Chains A and B, each alone.
Chain A
């Protein structure tokens, strides 16, 4: 999808069609989540602090993200993909790999499949997408990046190296700033430079594993298959405060809300976590993570909150915080889990209460039932 969040907003607000659209946190510390191409012309891009975005593009339309709507469109688009092939590997909310090897007899050549997907997405959702077609995941992804927005790029097997070798090394998957710098020191600037270098010399620069990996990629080889089911490694959520928080009551509320969100997501995905981790960013940007591994895997907000709150209060020591995050790690599938209840624990406890709430939220919206302390005071209330 191209500028996905912004495109969804433009699709449902046609009046925004020809304006720069920027979606992101609108608070004083918000960052841009997505900007349409009109906004990008002003130098606005994702991860840019909102304050800078507003300075660069004062006439843009600034919108708070609507996660529920984006998820709905994302699901519908993924369904279009699955009409073509069951081998769909979602990469994020707006990106997926499709293995169409087996779909060719039914739907024609990959190019034809790509065109029909682009047409359906545009017709059904009013948004554009870009498709890269190639023999490997890595090249397909690169092709789609290069063809954005609203494009289609096919890299034939015999054209892979011509496409790949002039690109900068930073386009290689796994090459960040640091690796790029060590490669530059060897005089390696393009993918072609890396491909031409003997692996042994590459090893000296970036280490054994990375060298083999980069050499394969630079030579256009990528053996990874499209895997429809990706195992979750952790489930987490975090919040950046508009102003640094040291008030225990505000912190408590934030953690309760995060725990509620994370536990709900874990239950929906069918996971419970053995490790509860918190992320704490202090006012001076110093960031620490602390975790505790528990006896019984957790998927109940109440338990998650108790542990997260203890971890945060122990480690924050009352200092003002800029950000807190709550995360469940060491995930285990909860339907395969035999739970060890405490002695005398009622058969129907908090877990049952929370799963009931899950059901209610599914039907009546995420704010239908919430912990009382998270209710927004109604007008007229104190």
Chain B
């Protein structure tokens, strides 16, 4: 096997594949990137039995064939090469990379030990890559990180006709994003739970390139536990998680007793500052009345902090406490200039949404994203 290719094209492709390779592979071959030359194109694949990624680039192919080399080492080498055409050749037991006057020889691993990548399932629809990336990042923040509760580590994707919803919860908060997409079949009705980490990485890496993301998954018979995403020449598949998220949507209130509107960035800054004294339990408290908002943190006898800030508040005076990190996560996830906190009761979940300035001083709440957060409770 032998090919020639521009350094930049190779670097982009190899770097992208290498990112999804396992750092501690269960078998050594899984640390490898599989290079395959066929019909004037080079396909680079990586797989760890959970996530597979595959990218195709056009090359000047001198001889078809396959080679398996350490993905990480290859990525580091191509990144460091001078901006010149790269020549890659695999001959018995090793691979040679030549670029300008630089020469590298790498050991190869036996191709026959490499597992077959899962086949891409059928396409179910498409969604703009940048929109998808934003939506996933808004939701994945609420996913659990506790591997003993695997269901909670997933983002649930619900595809119903032309509506596309993403949902995640770690039991303490829940994020929901609803948007439109273009299904292949308008009567589609599919729900799939995708590991949040894999989905975020994929969405993020696809978001930068523009275009549309094609979503592929088995539509019949419970599926093969697989979901696929493609943009142009890049394809990934991910294993899906068993089960469904708890049905927490019903907790989203339909009517509110109080609404607080603040500048999101300002509340983030104030909360971060005040939370410095909150130590391990990371609790911060919002005291709200018609005069304004006071953000407080600190224990009974330890360090304390408080800071007042402007707000627009409509409701009875109240005090509500949050895990500061959860509040901060929500404030950045709304992705908006103004944050709106809607309350029914200081003990009940609060809904965080974004708002943007409209015409003549009006503030319009942004539809489509909700971050539901359970306030802290004090016993005694």
Contacts and interface: CB of A to CB of B under 8 A. Distances in A.
Nearest to A342: B171
A338 B349 CA distance: 15
A338 B172 contact: no
Contacts of B372: 343
B379 A345 contact: no
Interface magnitude class on chain A: 10 to 19
B251 A339 contact: no
Interface string A337-350: 11111111101000
Which residue among A292, A336, A341, A343 has the maximum number of chain B CB atoms within 10 Å of its CB? A343
Chain A CB within 10 A, most for which of B146, B148, B174 = B148
A317 interface: no
Given A338-B281, A341-B374, A347 B347 contact: yes
A343 B251 contact: yes
A125 interface: no
**Secondary structure type dominating chain A contacts:** mixed
B377 A344 contact: no
Contacts of B347: 347
Contact of A338 (B171, B251, B378): B378
Interface in B258-300: 280-281, 283, 299-300
Contacts of B349: 343-344
A344 B251 contact: yes
Given A342-B172, A343-B372, A337 B248 contact: no
Given A343-B174, A344-B251, A351-B379, A338 B280 contact: no
Contacts, number: 53
A303 to B, nearest CB: 12
Interface of A: 292, 295, 310, 332, 334-345, 347, 351
Interface of B: 146, 148, 169, 171-174, 248, 251, 280-281, 283, 299-300, 321, 323, 347, 349, 372, 374, 376-380
Given A338-B378, A339-B377, A342-B374, 15 more contacts: A295-B172, A335-B379, A335-B380, A336-B300, A337-B281, A338-B377, A339-B376, A340-B376, A341-B374, A342-B172, A343-B171, A343-B174, A343-B248, A343-B349, A344-B251
23 contacts: A295-B146, A332-B280, A332-B281, A336-B299, A338-B283, A338-B376, A338-B378, A339-B378, A339-B379, A340-B172, A340-B374, A340-B376, A340-B377, A341-B172, A341-B376, A343-B171, A343-B173, A343-B349, A343-B372, A343-B374, A344-B349, A347-B347, A347-B377
